[in-house]
Amino acid sequence: VGFKVSSHLEITKVYNFPNPIDRDTYFTYILTKEAEEVSIKLFTISGRLIKVLNNAPSKAGYNQIYWDGKDEDGDNLANGVYFYKIIAKNEDENFSLLQKFVIMR
């Protein structure tokens, strides 16, 4: 595993596993430098926000966060395609990436 040294905040190697999800998943990512804040927002395919994972790990290098597969109301999501947006912020920098995942229960 190698790391590229960067003076800018970037998110790389973003994955969730398992994918497709049957119950729960881990989101993994690499930050090129430490961020003040990292969050993951999950959306339906139509763009409706269904869950926000705040206080995600924000150290430089490899990070991961667990998600139980439930929406903000604690309900399991229906089978289908969804999107997640991972957002890293510093005082003067913002970086985000959009990815998709599938739920098949």
- For the stretch 1-45, pLDDT in tens is 665 555 799 999 999 999 999 999 999 999 999 999 999 999 999
- For the stretch 71-93, pLDDT in tens is 999 999 999 999 999 999 999 99
Q: Please, are residues 102 and 72 in contact by the beta-carbon 8 Å criterion?
A: no
State pTM to two decimals: 0.89
Q: Name residue 37's amino acid.
A: E
Band (60; pLDDT cuts 50, 70, 90): very high
List the domains of the chain with CATH numbers: 11-103 (2.60.40.4070)
CB-count burial class (<10 Å; 0-12, 13-18, 19+) for 92: exposed
C-alpha gyration radius of the chain: 14
- For the stretch 90-103, pLDDT in tens is 999 999 999 999 99
Band (55; pLDDT cuts 50, 70, 90): very high
Nearest in space to 87 (alpha carbons), one of 39, 44, 51: 39
Question: Token pair for residue 49?
Answer: 């926000």
